[in-house]
């Protein structure tokens, strides 16, 4: 039996739930992880990733020294030859190159990725360096690829894009809708609270999802719409609510605008029309509408299935319309809740890791806000919103962007149409990656700056319900790796020297606590949160304007940030690539329980043991038609490229749709996907791509072995 | 407080809301009742009976963790019969399973002056070590059937229902349906079961390997078999 040298309380590095966990340490080795039972948000629960998947911290492939590409002249797509260098050499080189690009082409020729995996403090100093020293607002992060559709929709309708209610309230639900979220696999601990609401409190769950996800086992109603027809279903629900007068006239009069125009726009969206379009029986749509509208407390939870679409903004707007119609927002147990993906995707956005806003969504093009930041930072700032992540790739192809700085992200795996992304990165004059491993993007970099993992640094993360929590150092950094904030500050000081400027606020922090203090000063919403308070209370939900303010578990009790909630008429239509004769299947991409995004971390942890390869999930009827069985190899092709992987026959996918997780570089789903963007949110459609599937031979040297189904639900029973 | 009830515990008067268990009332009064299977965040089942107390006028002792308080109840938590019962429970446990990694139970053995050798000739409950997944091992030689793992796998946390009881009577043992290896069950490896196991019967694999004296690099190699096979392919 082992007695730990110490037990360190920290926040899980994986998803947006922000589970609190205890790392048990012996001789600087994390040998076990468990969770405190008395702490929000997870109260003792973890999922497989948090409890067993943090062993990547000690992986031998961690980058231990700064690296410079020795074969730059061979081009960025050649296999890299790395030369280990000192921090001084690496940072001087990066500073030289960035300053050269700024001075030659202007600051907007540099594009940067902040990181939803780094702390609030890391991201704050990162965007400060980019904005104040490089003079550009070209900073974005992977939120663009996950919830941009939700953010844009929520901003348009209510003026705030965070999850409106807290995880703790999930115990108090009455009726709730889960749509476009495979909650049991993507937010496992939240799914446990939702299941508990159903099983212990008698809450009614309505699932709207084309896939037979784990949550359908707990649903009162499951509306299985054809992929991409979400708007039709929600509009028809709204139609029923209006026709049957189930809406909340008092709430509509007090809190909303645009109701008359909106109900006129609903006229043609009858449930019968929606049945034709979406395949969901009209009667089920009516039942769902009645159930949601007549609930005392109704909440909506959604994920990538809503936002990652060419009509992601419309999907979101149609959900907001439902909540506004019924007054299901602004009270405990109600709400509009986009479930955020990364552990700090909320925090990265809050810390200014977006091209159009500083901290807490203060707009860069608002002169008053800009003046406040100019006063604190001591430099004049660029008033023009910068490029979004999806547009950075195109700008690199066009030559408008010459240098890229990527902190803790892997666009080569996560951007749609990988060949295009690869071409774009290969055009750059300079690419620097700051990460804990050399991932697929790092392979193309000129410089790799080794960062520390979550277990080796201090800071704060903000989870999906806006709770600011601590990340605490448990073990010493591997090799010469340094925390992101420290690397950025060191680099920024070198850039200052070269540009001959010194900011009054500077970059001479000695601990993340000091960075948070500066953030707090420039951000009214964080003013009441500091490290001592987080240590005392475990976490605080922002907005929290003063130390005596309790924090805000649910938003919009008294009003919306834009004043009145606005109903937006939504039209049904799609610009996504539809299946046709040549490419008859629809491809939906997504995540599985055991892996995380580009697999930079999970692929290097023992999680890879249980789920070691990509699979193409296919409906039994489709499999029979193609003459394939579970374990057979297939080639999946789209107009952009093709990949080879094994088939898993399962009723989870609807007929005509195959599902491929996007985690695996050797069968990367994003080789297939197209850059089809939502016009307003600039988010790509990862859920609808036309593909062809053909049986093929196994790759050379393949040794046969069984393929087991590790889905969160297995062999689902056809309910209807 | 709606419908308060008043009772005495070891002569001390306590007033609690209706529905409060004797265990919770005792805690409120600062009276310590030992627990083994009970976990404050899980459904109590009164399985191990170590929390048994005497209630005046009752024919048998009551498990404090599941017995609700009633008005006028007179509870004794340290009577001679109670102590004798607890001692015997501990001695039976010690003779049946390996308690080496259950420090809290070992401490109780000491506190109640239990003789772990008293039933030394009795039957031991033995089981093979299950090492069937990359994340945790199951050593039911150390299992006291407290049921916590089954509960968190079911309605107390995960709603996965991968764990159950196998066997009957003395030979009852926690296991999977049909004794399947974990990866073939509905298990999602959340490890809630590992998090509530009081005896080290369930243990993270990394911890188990570290205890065997392996260093972190060797642990890394031993927990990355499939990946290697695959790269060779």
Q: Nearest by CB to A31, which of B206, B224, B230? A: B206
Contacts of A44 in chain B (CB under 8 A): 41, 157, 192, 195-196
Cβ contact, residue pair A703, B229, below 8 Å: yes
Query: What length does chain B have?
Result: 233
pLDDT of residue B11: 96
Cβ contact, residue pair B217, A60, below 8 Å: yes
Choose from A41, A200, A606 for mutation: most chain B CBs within 10 A.
Answer: A606
Give contacts of A 197-216 with B, CB under 8 A. Answer: 199-200
Q: Nearest by CB to B135, which of A52, A612, A699? A: A52
Q: Nearest by CB to B224, which of A1, A218, A606? A: A606
Cβ contact, residue pair A37, B223, below 8 Å: no
pLDDT of residue A584: 97
pLDDT of residue A716: 46
Average pLDDT taken over every residue of chain B: 93
CA triple A276-A262-A333, angle to 5 deg: 85
B59 touches chain A (CB under 8 A): no
> How confident is residue A1, by pLDDT bands cut at 50, 70 and 90?
confident
* 3-state secondary structure at position A70: coil
**What is the pLDDT averaged over residues B163-184?**
92
Cβ contact, residue pair B159, A195, below 8 Å: yes
User: pLDDT tens-digit profile of A101-118?
Assistant: 999 999 999 999 999 999
Q: Nearest by CB to B155, which of A33, A199, A613? A: A199
- In the predicted structure, residue B225 carries a pLDDT above the cut 80: no
Contacts of A609 in chain B (CB under 8 A): 134, 223-227
> How confident is residue A394, by pLDDT bands cut at 50, 70 and 90?
very high
**What is the pLDDT averaged over residues A208-219?**
95
- In the predicted structure, residue B173 carries a pLDDT above the cut 90: yes
Average pLDDT taken over every residue of chain A: 94
Contacts of B190 in chain A (CB under 8 A): 45-48, 51, 188
* 3-state secondary structure at position A100: helix
A99 touches chain B (CB under 8 A): no
Cβ contact, residue pair B189, A60, below 8 Å: no
Contacts of B136 in chain A (CB under 8 A): 52
Cβ contact, residue pair A44, B192, below 8 Å: yes
> How confident is residue B227, by pLDDT bands cut at 50, 70 and 90?
low
Cβ contact, residue pair B225, A609, below 8 Å: yes
Q: Nearest by CB to A702, which of B192, B225, B233? A: B233
Structural domains of chain A, with CATH: 6-58 (2.20.25.90), 67-145+343-541 (3.40.50.740), 148-339 (3.40.228.10), 585-695 (2.40.40.20)
Nearest to A421 by CA among A460, A394, A400: A394
User: pLDDT tens-digit profile of B17-76?
Assistant: 999 999 999 999 999 999 999 999 999 999 999 999 999 999 999 999 999 999 999 999
Cβ contact, residue pair B227, A200, below 8 Å: no
User: pLDDT tens-digit profile of A499-545?
Assistant: 998 887 789 999 999 999 999 999 999 999 999 999 999 999 999 99
pLDDT of residue A711: 66
State both tokens at A286. Answer: 């009516």
B98 touches chain A (CB under 8 A): no
Nearest to B133 by CA among A596, A48, A214: A48
Alpha-carbon dihedral sign for residues A400, A404, A407, A411: positive
What string of DSSP letters covers A395-453?
HHHHTS--EEEEES--HHHHSSSHHHHHHHHHT-SEEEEEESS--TTGGG-SEEEEBP-
Q: Are A355 and A140 in contact (CB under 8 A)?
A: yes
Distance CA A230, CA A209 (A): 8
pLDDT of residue A283: 98
- In the predicted structure, residue A712 carries a pLDDT above the cut 70: no
A253 touches chain B (CB under 8 A): no
pLDDT of residue A189: 96
Give contacts of A 410-439 with B, CB under 8 A. Answer: none
pLDDT of residue A717: 43
Structural domains of chain B, with CATH: 4-78 (3.10.20.740), 129-232 (3.30.70.20)
User: What percent of chain A is modeled with pLDDT above 90?
Assistant: 87
B175 touches chain A (CB under 8 A): no
Q: How much is the pTM?
A: 0.94
User: pLDDT tens-digit profile of A236-288?
Assistant: 999 999 999 999 999 999 999 999 999 999 999 999 999 999 999 999 999 99
Q: Nearest by CB to B159, which of A1, A44, A199? A: A199
């Amino acid at each position: 039996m082992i007695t730990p040298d110490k037990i360190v309380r920290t926040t899980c590095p994986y998803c947006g739930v922000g589970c609190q966990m205890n790392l048990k340490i012996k001789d600087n080795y994390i040998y076990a992880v468990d969770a405190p039972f008395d702490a929000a948000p997870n109260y003792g629960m973890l999922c497989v990733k948090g409890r067993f998947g943090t062993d990547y911290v000690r992986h031998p492939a961690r980058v231990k020294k700064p690296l410079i590409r020795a074969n730059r002249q061979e081009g960025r797509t050649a296999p890299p030859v790395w030369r280990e260098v000192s921090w001084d050499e690496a940072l001087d080189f990066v500073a030289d190159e960035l300053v050269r690009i700024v001075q030659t082409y202007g600051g907007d020729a540099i594009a940067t990725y902040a990181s939803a995996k780094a702390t609030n403090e890391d991201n704050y100093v990162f965007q400060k360096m980019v904005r104040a020293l490089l003079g550009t607002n070209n900073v974005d992060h992977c939120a663009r690829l996950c919830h941009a559709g939700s953010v844009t929709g929520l901003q348009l309708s209510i003026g705030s894009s965070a999850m409106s209610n807290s995880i703790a309230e999930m115990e108090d639900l009455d009726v709730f809708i889960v749509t476009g979220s495979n909650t049991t696999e993507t937010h496992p601990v939240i799914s446990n609270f939702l299941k508990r609401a159903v099983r212990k409190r008698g809450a009614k769950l309505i699932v709207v999802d084309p896939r037979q996800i784990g949550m359908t086992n707990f649903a009162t109603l499951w509306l299985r719409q054809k992929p991409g027809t979400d708007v039709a279903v929600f509009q028809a629900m709204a139609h029923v609510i209006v026709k049957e007068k189930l809406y909340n006239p008092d709430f509509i009069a007090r809190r909303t605008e645009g109701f008359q125009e909106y109900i006129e726009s609903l006229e043609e969206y009858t449930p019968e029309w929606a049945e034709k379009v979406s395949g969901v029986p009209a009667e089920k749509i009516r039942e769902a509408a009645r159930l949601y509208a007549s609930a005392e407390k109704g909440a909506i939870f959604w994920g990538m299935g809503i936002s990652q679409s060419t009509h992601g903004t419309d999907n979101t707007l149609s959900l907001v319309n439902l909540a506004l119609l019924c007054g299901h927002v602004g009270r405990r147990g109600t709400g509009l809740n986009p479930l955020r993906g990364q552990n700090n995707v909320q925090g990265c956005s809050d810390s200014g890791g977006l091209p159009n806003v500083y901290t807490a969504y203060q707009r860069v093009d608002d002169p008053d806000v800009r003046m406040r930041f100019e006063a604190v930072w001591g430099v004049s700032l660029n008033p023009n919103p910068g490029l979004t992540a999806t547009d950075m790739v195109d700008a690199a192809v066009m030559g408008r962007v010459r240098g890229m700085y990527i902190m803790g992200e892997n666009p080569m795996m996560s951007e749609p149409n990988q060949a295009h992304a690869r071409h774009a990165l290969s055009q750059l004059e300079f690419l620097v990656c700051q990460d804990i491993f050399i991932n697929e993007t790092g392979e193309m970099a000129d410089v790799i700056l080794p960062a520390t993992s979550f277990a080796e640094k201090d800071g704060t993360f903000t989870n999906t319900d806006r709770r600011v929590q601590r990340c605490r150092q448990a073990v010493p950094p591997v090799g010469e790796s340094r925390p992101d904030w420290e690397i950025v500050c060191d680099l920024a000081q070198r850039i200052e020297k070269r540009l001959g400027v010194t900011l009054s606020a500077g970059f001479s922090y000695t601990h993340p606590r000091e960075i948070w203090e500066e953030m707090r000063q420039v951000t009214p919403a964080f003013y009441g949160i500091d490290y001592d308070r987080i240590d005392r209370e475990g976490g605080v939900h922002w907005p929290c304007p003063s130390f005596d303010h309790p924090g805000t578990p649910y938003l919009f009790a008294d009003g919306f940030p834009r004043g009145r909630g606005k109903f937006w008429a939504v039209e049904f239509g799609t610009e996504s690539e539809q299946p046709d004769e040549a490419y008859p299947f629809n491809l939906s991409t997504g995540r599985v329980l055991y892996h995380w995004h580009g697999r930079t971390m999970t692929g290097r942890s023992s999680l890879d043991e249980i789920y070691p390869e990509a699979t193409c999930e296919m409906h039994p009827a489709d499999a029979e038609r193609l003459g394939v069985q579970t374990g057979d190899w297939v080639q999946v092709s789209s107009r952009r490229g093709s990949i080879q992987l094994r088939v898993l026959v399962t009723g989870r996918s609807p007929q005509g749709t195959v599902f491929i997780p996007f985690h695996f570089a050797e069968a990367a789903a994003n080789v297939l996907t197209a850059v089809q963007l939502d016009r307003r949110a600039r988010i790509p459609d990862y859920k609808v791509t036309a593909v062809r599937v053909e049986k093929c031979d196994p790759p050379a040297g393949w040794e046969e072995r069984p393929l087991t189904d590790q889905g969160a639900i297995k062999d689902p029973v056809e309910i209807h | 407080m709606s419908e308060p009830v008043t009772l005495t515990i070891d002569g001390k008067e306590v007033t609690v809301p209706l529905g409060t268990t004797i265990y919770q009332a005792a805690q409120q009064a600062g009276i310590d009742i030992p627990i083994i299977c009970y976990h404050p965040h899980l459904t109590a089942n009164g399985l191990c009976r170590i929390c048994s107390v005497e209630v005046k006028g009752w024919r048998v002792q009551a498990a404090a963790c599941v017995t609700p308080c009633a008005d006028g109840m007179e509870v004794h938590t340290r009577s001679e019969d109670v102590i004798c019962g607890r001692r015997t429970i501990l001695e039976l446990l010690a003779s049946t399973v390996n308690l080496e990694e259950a420090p809290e139970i070992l401490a109780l053995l000491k506190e109640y002056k239990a003789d772990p050798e008293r039933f030394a000739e009795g039957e031991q409950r033995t089981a093979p070590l299950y090492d069937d997944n990359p994340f945790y091992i199951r050593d039911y030689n150390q299992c006291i059937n407290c049921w916590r793992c089954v509960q968190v796998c079911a309605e107390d946390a995960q709603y996965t229902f991968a764990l159950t009881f196998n066997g009957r009577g003395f030979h009852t043992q926690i296991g999977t349906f049909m004794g399947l290896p974990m990866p073939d069950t509905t298990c999602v490896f959340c490890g809630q079961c590992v998090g509530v196991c009081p005896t080290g019967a369930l243990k993270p694999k990394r911890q188990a390997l570290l205890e065997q004296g392996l260093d972190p690099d060797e642990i890394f190699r031993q927990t990355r078999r499939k990946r290697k096979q695959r790269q060779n392919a």
